[in-house]
Every structure is written in structure tokens, then in C-alpha cells.
Structure 1
Amino acid sequence: MEYVRLKDIKEAYIDKLISQDKLNKAIHIYNEENNLPIFNNLSVHPETEPNKEIINEAIEDISIDILGLNKEISATGNQYNDLMNEVTHRLEVIEELLQAEENRIKDMNIICGNYDEFVTVKTLNYKYFTGMFGYDSNYVFFAYPNTAKASSEDILILDISGNGYEGNKYVYQNDEFLQDSLDTSNRNYLIDEHISTYYEYSRLTSNTELSKYPKDVNFDDIEAQCTITCISQKPFGTIKISSDFDNIIVQDILYSIDDGNTYISCLDNPISINNLFGIYNDSNYIYGSGIICFPSTNYLKIVLSSTKASEVDKIAFTSLDTVDATNPIETIILLDEVKRHVIRINDLSILSGTYRTGTKMQSKELISEPIESIAIFASEYVPSHFPNNQDYIQYILTINGVDYNIVPINSNKEGIKVIRSSKLMSLDTYAEHISESIKSASLSIIINTPDSYTTPYVSNVKICYGKAVSKV
């Protein structure tokens, strides 16, 4: 909406006064500063009969002042909102750059450490590719979405149950209970898409016997676990769990085919969705994405757990001292021996709609000088309900104008994993040897899906470069 300034409102009012032949008042308002109110004051003697015209005129002045004030407050709020969004965007860009540099160092240490012939690794984000494809968080790719989109608006949380309690009750910081300023038991925080709110499910444990403690303390070391039951009016086959904690595990996903009466498990193994080191140890999931797929349904149960206790939370509770029955006193008791295990979710969204099979992503030129060898590294996530023994994600490296079907170097699939420049043949079944140096290279990725409501995913696509060709 276009910003209507206070000056514009006053000028419109002046025009109205001129049209009503109230020239003196119009001139007075025109000569006043724009930030001064039009209404000055109105003195009424208690024994004087009220003048209806004067009162109506005063009310009209007040209404113009209130209108202008409302517009200015609204405009200021919009400016603050724009500033907040701009700062958030800049912080996200900075975080992305820092994360990219951190990942580059990890890639060099882990990938190049395990594969001696590679000396450099480059991670490809969506900007490296052309074509019609879907992407999430810059580095996660999937089949082109015909109508599919992410949304939190379509979710309704039916129930949350587990072995602990909802929220951040008992967390004590800066001489106050954190729950008083931000109550994380609010289930709306799961789906409000707001960056400053989050939902938590907690469990208190202690290995030491206590004389006084609240009912939620457990004398064991069992992690927090909860089950979120949700429903959507639209069928969906994918969820995205966003959390700024790296200790969240998806233990199971259960979907219903009969309106929530019975549920079927569809997760083969628990997934530590934010375990970024899993990128290098397991090529069968897109770690860091929080994406989980399942057969299309309207009802879903998500079983989550924590992996460790918080190292920063101080736990306390309020106890009522009734030694003096006539004057009971509330005291705050710190529980240094008690730890909080917590599952934190910043956002829970669903991806519903349809996807197009046969999606093709084409990279631009990937090398700037001749090299001796090249390979790709990638993480794949094929939904467990897809039929086995099918190639849902294909990679084609075009080397010096010739296409080579390859598989990622970190994959368990059989096939060519390395293109190597060598005049001598080798018995390596995973390497393709060419007789000249690698002068040009580009990558094509083809994504196929047998289920138009769900798609395979590929992420962390990296190009592994061998040594540069020695110049004579």
C-alpha cells in the first residue's frame, strides 16, 4: 500500500476547508509545522450553552490528527519491519558465506584426506545450474514442482505426547523463569513460521537423589521423546522439520491410510536430521535439510527424541515453605544436579502438490584449467516407499565434449566414479581413463519420480578436482 504522508493528509484537509470558505483556518493550518496537531484546544465555559458547530469542528480536527498519527505509526512500523527483514537477509547471507567456508574446510580435510588424488572440492548451489528444477536452502535439489509448495498454514496439531512435558518450565535465567518471557509450550510456535519463536518438549533427569524436587524430575538418564500427531486438509507426502539444535532425531514416521484410525511406520532407521558430519558418513540422506518423505496421507505421527542434555540451562522450581502456617513463604530452589533434555522445533511445514518426473539440471563450465582427474560427491534421499532397484537420480559428466554416466564417489552404487587422465590403463573398475587431460567439464543431473506427489532429493553436490596438469 502506498504511504500516505501526514503532509498529504493536511493538504487534503486544507483543500476541504477552502472549499467550505474557511480561509482563515486553512491559512493557519498551512502556516503551521507539519508535525504539529491541527486541533489546538477547545475551552468550554460550564455555564455557556455548547455550540454544536464548534464541537463538531473540533471533533473533525481531532479525527484528522488521529488519521495522520495512525498513518505515521503504520509507516514507521513498516519501516522497522523492512529494516528487520533486511538485517535478517544480510545475516542469512553472512551465515551462508561462513557455512560455505566451514564446509569447504571440512570437505578439504575429509574428502581430500580420504581420496589422495583430489586436491580441491567445490560445492555447487542452485546458481551453478540451469533448467526447471526445485531447490531448498540453496543446496538441496528435487524434481520440478508442478504445484507443490511448502506451507505451515495447512497443518493442524492434534496431539503431542511423550515421556516429559511441553515447554521450558523450570528453566531459570537472570534471576527469573524463562517461561515468563517466552513460553515454549505454545503449539502455535510449531507452525507460525516466525524466526524468533520455537516449540520445545523437555525431560528433566538427575543421577542424584534430591530432598526437594518437582514432579517432572526423573532419576535416570533417558532422553526426551515425544510424538506429534498432525492433520492436513490437503494430502501431503513430505514434511520439513526446522530446528537450530543439532541433537534432534526423527525416530519414526507413521502415516494413516484410514483417517487416523491406524498408522503404518515408514522409516527404516532413525535419522539425526541436523548431523552435518553425516554428510560424509551416509550418502543416503540429505543431512541438514530436515526433509522426510512418506506415502501421501492426511494424518501423520512424527516421533522425535533428543540426544543429550543441555549444558547451559539452569533448573529451578518454586517451593512453598509452610513452617509458619500463618505466613507461608515462596522460595526458589536451584537444582544443580538436574539436567534438561530438550527437543526444539523452530518450524514444521508440509510440502504438498505434484512433481514432474524427468527433471534435468545442467551446470555451467566447472573447470578453469586442465586437471588430471575429476569426480562428484553427493547425498541422495530416495523415499523408502519408492520401488527398489531403479535409478531415480542420474549423473552425467561431460568431459571434453564426451558424456560419461557416473555415480558419486561416496555412493555404494556400482559404476564409474572417477574420470582420470592417463595413457596407461588400470584394473580399477570404478575409474574411466581418457588419453588426454581434462580441459572442460560440466554436470547434468536427472531426477525421476514414480510418485507425482513425492520426489527424490539430492544435496551437497560437490566436484572433486585432481591435480592440475603440469605445464611444460
Structure 2
Amino acid sequence: MAGEHLSNQKKYRIEELVLNGKQERADRIVNSDVYSPIFQNQFYHPEAEPDLEGVNDDLSDILNDLFILEGEFVVLAESYKSLLEESILKIDTSKREAIAAREKIMDMNMICNEDNGFFQVRTLTNDDFIEKDVINNDNVITAWPNGFTTVDCKIIDIVGNGIEGNHYVFTNDEFIADKNFTGNRAAVTDDNITTIYEYQKINADQNEPYVFTDLNFDGTEAYCTITLEANEPITSIKILSPDNELVLREVQVSVDNDEYLTIMDEALKLNKRENIYLKSKYIYESGIIAFPLSTYIKISLSSDGYTGEKIAFLHEHLE
């Protein structure tokens, strides 16, 4: 707790001074305010003979004060960390409650429009099922698996009609990629919410001049196919994306990276929850894709719309 480290460090310094026969200096620390520094300002006349022992004692006092500050900063940092973690937990709880309330309203609106025999909607939880019959993962209730483990995957290839990363995005007179490049393939599988992988296609009107090689005039959406290899066979993956217009086009799986089986070829927007009332084969907003036991997975994605970000490029004039 704050102050405990300070008191202990002062106590150690007092005991050290008493042990070395420096009672007067020790008494000064005892009689001082608990939060005042051990070191007291000293004035040394430039022509006076230096008191080496006194200077060494002053340096020791300063060193102890630095130890105290270090310890107090550590304690405060831990306190702030706990406060932030508690705040984040409360925000997440409130967010989940708000989402549940929104979903309940959406459910009511949909059901009342389709069937007037219903008068209320109740959210199902684990308590509504026999113990261990189901598992609730991010509000997605599924049958309880026989076993569960997380497996590392690596990118074999990414191909498409665009480019990887945010090379041309320009904001506040600087290229965003200089500080946060989003074309690192490791970000696809690192399970870190602070890293982002981006695949983009830059389209322009036919009347625009052709100014750099990555500019396109065909007007088609960006699309790419990501080929993954798992360290051992898996049966599902989870795609996390903040883009509500991200479209999953196709999923293919294989055990040998030679023959692939298509297990999903109906275009769907992963994060468009409203589609849950129209198509029941996918749990929207979950990002979960299930398939037969496989080692290699090909995921085809595309965009649906544009971001309107400001772009720029550097033109190099060669003579």
C-alpha cells in the first residue's frame, strides 16, 4: 500500500545511521514529517574544506529518497492498473447489457412483425440447459465439445486484386504506415486485438489520370484469399474484424493442401447481425466458422463499399 514502502525505507536508513554512530542525523529523520525527503538541503561554502563523510552521507540520503520514489511509483502504478482493469470490466459489463437490450428489442420487432402470438422474449443462458450440455462462448450457445484447445496457425499465402497494408493512407501530413503499418501478415494470426492486418484496393474514376501502379479503374471491390496452415488439425476458426461490411465469400478446407473441399460458398457479412433473421446457417457477429477436421484452410473475403480515406503518393523525378 502507498506509504508503507516509504516508512520501511526510512526505518532502514535510521537503523543504518544509528548503527554507524550518527544519532543526530538519525534523530532528524525521526522528527521530520513522514512524507518529507530524507535528504535536507545542504550549503557548502566554496572556500571551505570539503567534509567528505558529510557529502557521502548526503549522497546516501539522496539514494534512499530515490529508492522511496521508485517504490511509491510502483505502488501507484499497480493501483492505477487495478482501477483501469476494474473500469474496463464495468464498461464491458455495461456494453454486454446494452447489446442484450438492443438484441431483445430487435427480436421483439422481428417476432411481432412475423407472428402476433408472442408477447415477450427471454434471453437464454446456461441456466436454461442441463449442466454441461452446452457452452456459452461470447453469447454463442453451442453443444459442449468433447475437448477444446487453441492451435497456432501460419499464413501460407494471400492473393487477391489489391495490396497488403495501408501504404498510401495519408493523415495530418504524414503516412499512417510510417507509424502503424497494417500489412504485416503475422497480425492475421497473432490473436492480438491491438494489431491489424489490412488488404485494400484503390479505385479511381475513369477520368482520373493514371498516376501510380496500384491505382485501379475497374470499379470492382477488393477481394483476397488467405491460405492458412494449422500446426495440427482443427475444426473451427474465429475471424475478428471491426469492419461491418466485410464479406465472407468462400471457405475451403484440406488435409494435404492438394485437394480442397468447399464447405461454405454463400456470401455473408460476418458482422451484420440483422441477417440472423433471414439466414439461420451462420451465427452473425460471432466470427466463428466451423468445418470438418482440417489442416489447411482457404478463406476468401471481399469488401462491400469504400472508406473514403485520404491517400497520397511520392513522385520521384529522374533525369
The reply to whether TM is greater than 0.5 is: yes
Structure 1 residues 134-173: aligned runs within 5 Å: 134-137=135-138, 139-145=139-145, 147-150=147-150, 154-173=152-171
What is the CA deviation profile of residues 294-348 of structure 1, one whole-angstrom value per residue up to 9, with x for unaligned ones?
33344444332222212xx33221444859x8xxxxxxxxxxxxxxxxxxxxxxx
Structure 1 residues 14-53: aligned runs within 5 Å: 14-39=14-39, 51=52
- SS for the counterpart of 1:122 is coil
Alpha-carbon RMSD across the aligned residues, in angstroms, is 3.8
- SS for the counterpart of 1:222 is coil
The count of corresponding residues between Structure 1 and Structure 2 is 316
Tell me the amino acid that sits aligned with residue 312 of structure 2: F
- SS for the counterpart of 1:267 is strand
Structure 1 residues 231-310: aligned runs within 5 Å: 231-258=229-256, 261-262=257-258, 264-270=260-266, 271-310=268-307
Contact 1:207-1:219 at 8 Å conserved across structures: yes
Structure 1 residues 405-424: aligned runs within 5 Å: none
Unaligned runs of 5+ in 1: 326-472
- Which structure is richer in relative contact order (CA contacts within 8 A, separation 6 or more)? 1
Unaligned runs of 5+ in 2: none
Q: In the aligned structure 2, how far is the partner of 1:216 from the partner of 1:44? A: 72
Of 313, 317, 331 in structure 1, the residue corresponding to residue 312 of structure 2 is: 317
Tell me the amino acid that sits aligned with residue 291 of structure 1: I
- SS for the counterpart of 2:11 is helix
1:200 corresponds to:
198
- Change in Cα spacing, 1:175 to 1:13, as seen in structure 2 (3 Å) is same
Q: In the aligned structure 2, how far is the partner of 1:209 from the partner of 1:219? A: 9
- Change in Cα spacing, 1:208 to 1:150, as seen in structure 2 (3 Å) is same
- SS for the counterpart of 1:5 is helix
- Change in Cα spacing, 1:266 to 1:38, as seen in structure 2 (3 Å) is farther
Residue 217 of structure 1: how far off its partner (Å): 1.6
Structure 1 residues 14-163: aligned runs within 5 Å: 14-39=14-39, 51=52, 60-126=60-126, 128-129=128-129, 131-132=131-132, 133-137=134-138, 139-145=139-145, 147-150=147-150, 154-163=152-161
What is the CA deviation profile of residues 446-470 of structure 1, one whole-angstrom value per residue up to 9, with x for unaligned ones?
xxxxxxxxxxxxxxxxxxxxxxxxx
Tell me the amino acid that sits aligned with residue 207 of structure 1: D
Residue 164 of structure 1: how far off its partner (Å): 1.7
Contact 1:255-1:265 at 8 Å conserved across structures: yes
TM-score by length of 2: 0.79
- Change in Cα spacing, 1:31 to 1:201, as seen in structure 2 (3 Å) is farther
Contact 1:254-1:263 at 8 Å conserved across structures: no
- SS for the counterpart of 1:211 is coil
TM-score by length of 1: 0.56
Contact 1:223-1:307 at 8 Å conserved across structures: yes
The structure whose residues are more often strand, as a share, is: 1
What is the CA deviation profile of residues 242-291 of structure 1, one whole-angstrom value per residue up to 9, with x for unaligned ones?
12221122333344424xx5362342324422121221011121111001
What is the CA deviation profile of residues 187-237 of structure 1, one whole-angstrom value per residue up to 9, with x for unaligned ones?
454455555543222111123332363322211222222333444445432
Contact 1:39-1:65 at 8 Å conserved across structures: yes
Identity %: 32
Contact 1:266-1:294 at 8 Å conserved across structures: no
Tell me the amino acid that sits aligned with residue 7 of structure 2: K
Contact 2:253-2:263 at 8 Å conserved across structures: no
The structure whose residues are more often helix, as a share, is: 2
